[in-house]
Chain A
Amino acid sequence: MLKYLDEYRDKDLAQNLVAQINYASKKSIRIMEVCGGHTMAIRKYGIQNLLPPTIKLLSGPGCPVCVTSRSFIDKAIAYSAMPDIIITTYGDLMRVPGTSSSLLKEKARGADVRIVVSTLDAVKIAKENPEKTVIFLGIGFETTTPPTAIAVLEASKIKLKNFLILSAHKLMPPAMAALIDEGTLIDAYIGPGHVSTIAGSKIYKPLVNQYDISVVISGFEPVDILQSIWMLVKQIESGIPSVEIQYSRAVSQEGNLKAQNLVNDVFEPCTAFWRGLGAIPKSGLKLKPEYNSFEAESLLPLEIAEKPEPKGCLCGQILKGQKIPTDCKLFGKTCTPEKPVGACMVSDEGTCAAYFKYNDY
């Protein structure tokens, strides 16, 4: 199982890369990672402590749970309270606080909320419960959208009338652009590995062209991340920004075309609300009109407004890389993984959870 992992955790290789980074890095730069897996790996292996003072690492909106709006959770909770509704979801969403509750609390109070590990399990539950309506909570970036598309196509094929999607699927590049437009100082992005496996490196080309920003798509092991940082440093020092792939064992320029086609068949872009970033045009995905009969919000309309973040919570600024968790007065005191106030603490891959779990403050 670990046959091919040890090379990517090799101390000599890692230390050699650290030396190369130290040697090459002259300018002060700010590098943002936009993938929760990268955030966790950086903290877990203490990578931030190995870098020269010229390099500042920032954590961006890379955790799909963290950027899911509170109104989405509130809607899911409202649906769960309706008669004959089964909510199906990936486990990560269970503890995310809505305005006044979470799916986990509602389940404890008797709501029928079920964790699934595959979208087709949600379809199966719908088939087995024809008298109930099954709503699948679609969250995540380019990585998790194809499985949702497959579920919709399967439900359509077998003419299921009781299977619905509540979609909060999002696209990463528009958020990366929005951050720069907002004024967040970013010199380079560590490109998300899983997103790019599906979407390819081509999706970042417009970012490089428009903002002169460097992007290196990275794997998740410590040697991957250090090599990506080294590649970014070399790009910035040479003054020639581009998109490079460090994670070449999984990512290509074109990506997974079959998965992309599936998504394009079922979804179309829409404005999406990102926790911390607000509404970003063309950064979300909704079902195409021909699949409207699977759209929860069309069939069961709900008016739930987005509420402001809890008092004192800095999740919004943390998601933009403008603040770090330790800037937040709630961090580690009233906001812990046990009792999360903000979304960055609730998700296993949230920036606050990473700081808390692997704290070095």
Chain B
Amino acid sequence: MSTDTILIGHGAGGMLSHKLVHELFLKHFKNKQLAGLSDATIVKTTSHTAFTTDSYVVDPIIFPGGDIGKLAVSGTVNDLLVSGALPQYLSAGFIIEEGLPMETLEQIVKSMAREAKHAGVEIVTGDTKVVKRGQCDKLFINTSGIGKGIENMEHLWKKPELKAGDKVLVSGYLGDHAITILAARNNITFEEEIVSDAAPLNNLILPLFENFGHSIRFMRDITRGGLATILNEICEHKNIGVELNESLLPVRNEVKGICEIFGYDPLYLANEGKVMMIVEQNAAEAVLEKMKESDLGRYCAMVGEITSSFPGKVRQLSVIGGSRIVDMLQGEMLPRIC
């Protein structure tokens, strides 16, 4: 690159912008649609197309196990997957603060290209804006995603039909991402390093769709608000409740320890590579076994079930046998974690 720092001129539409697009974005996001540099990209879609968008403002922008670019791809890809769609295309919008080192931006763009390749998606359109110092914090990214609806998963496009006895499964340890970000901000180190779980979940989710189809009644990636918030959303306006068993929740000891110190509850912690699903009772064990075949689901667990008692509520049996109602997250636990 001709300069080692992002300048206001990189967003002005002139020579610097031209160079930035060609020498950075086109160089790493190689594909035919993007190369045309037209104002809009024409893509082939199907009769059922999933469309989603998400913005990423995480601080710090680079952290153990990932960076804002990896998040921006995997987060949007996962939103498509859990909706029963096969991710195909992404857009990428960058809002960059002047003064961001070019090397940092390139590291993040490379990371996005790598994750897009993993997830089998193409970044086919994009935009760059540069703002004055102080008008944004280093780098914000927006990605929108388009995916093809998967035929035997149409039920995931609609309101879930849940029954008492259905099992609640999670694909692995809860809270790794949130605690990684917290530790990075506070210079906390661990005996065994905790890294963000940010990852596109194609290899975990697609085999489950193929093998279990309708037995998977509902799926959601566990991001901001954590498991508790998703479960509360499910219970809202329904005649069902959820019963969780605290002893069965997969949480690393290091994460538990940090939660003790900071007063957090792992149920509300954000993840960026974990999925929660509600599975028909008879298929639950087989789904767990299948998940364990993937590195992304090695530590999966059955953590609770749908119940007809306590309708509209999420109830948790505590480790000592007491019980309490688990509500939605109130306020914010950790700001700007994704």
Residues of chain A touching chain B, judged by Cβ–Cβ distance below 8 Å, are 1-2, 5, 9-11, 14-15, 18, 43-50, 222-223, 226, 336-338, 348, 356-360
Contact = CB atoms under 8 A, between A and B. Distances in A.
A1 B194 CA distance: 14
Interface string B154-175: 0000000000000000000000
Q: Is the interface of B mostly helix, strand, loop or mixed?
A: mixed
B137 interface: no
A9 B319 contact: yes
A223 B324 CA distance: 17
B324 A337 contact: no
Interface in B244-271: 247, 253-254, 256-258, 260, 263
Contact of B327 (A1, A2, A49, A359): A359
Interface of B: 247, 253-254, 256-258, 260, 263, 318-327, 330-331
A298 B72 CA distance: 54
B330 A337 contact: yes
Contacts of A11: 247, 319-321
23 contacts: A2-B253, A2-B256, A5-B260, A10-B320, A11-B320, A11-B321, A15-B320, A15-B321, A18-B321, A46-B318, A47-B322, A49-B324, A50-B321, A50-B322, A222-B318, A222-B320, A336-B330, A337-B330, A338-B331, A356-B327, A357-B327, A358-B324, A360-B325
Contact of A360 (B247, B260, B263, B324): B324
Contacts of A9: 319-320
A338 B257 contact: no
10 smallest A-B Cβ distances: which pairs? Answer: A46-B322, A1-B257, A14-B320, A337-B330, A45-B318, A358-B324, A46-B324, A46-B323, A222-B320, A9-B319
A177 B263 CA distance: 30
Given A11-B319, A223-B320, A356-B327, 19 more contacts: A1-B258, A11-B321, A43-B324, A44-B324, A45-B320, A45-B324, A46-B323, A46-B324, A47-B320, A48-B322, A50-B320, A50-B321, A336-B330, A338-B330, A348-B263, A359-B324, A359-B325, A360-B323, A360-B325
Contacts of A15: 320-321
A44 B318 contact: yes
A50 B323 CA distance: 9
A2 B259 CA distance: 11
Nearest to A47: B322
Nearest to B320: A14
Contacts of A5: 260
Nearest to B325: A359
* Residue of B256, B258, B326, B331 with most partner-chain A CB within 10 A: B331
Nearest to A95: B331
Contacts of B325: 358-360
Contacts of B257: 1-2
A18 B320 CA distance: 10
Nearest to B326: A358
A140 to B, nearest CB: 16
Contacts of B330: 336-338, 356-357
Contacts of A14: 320-321
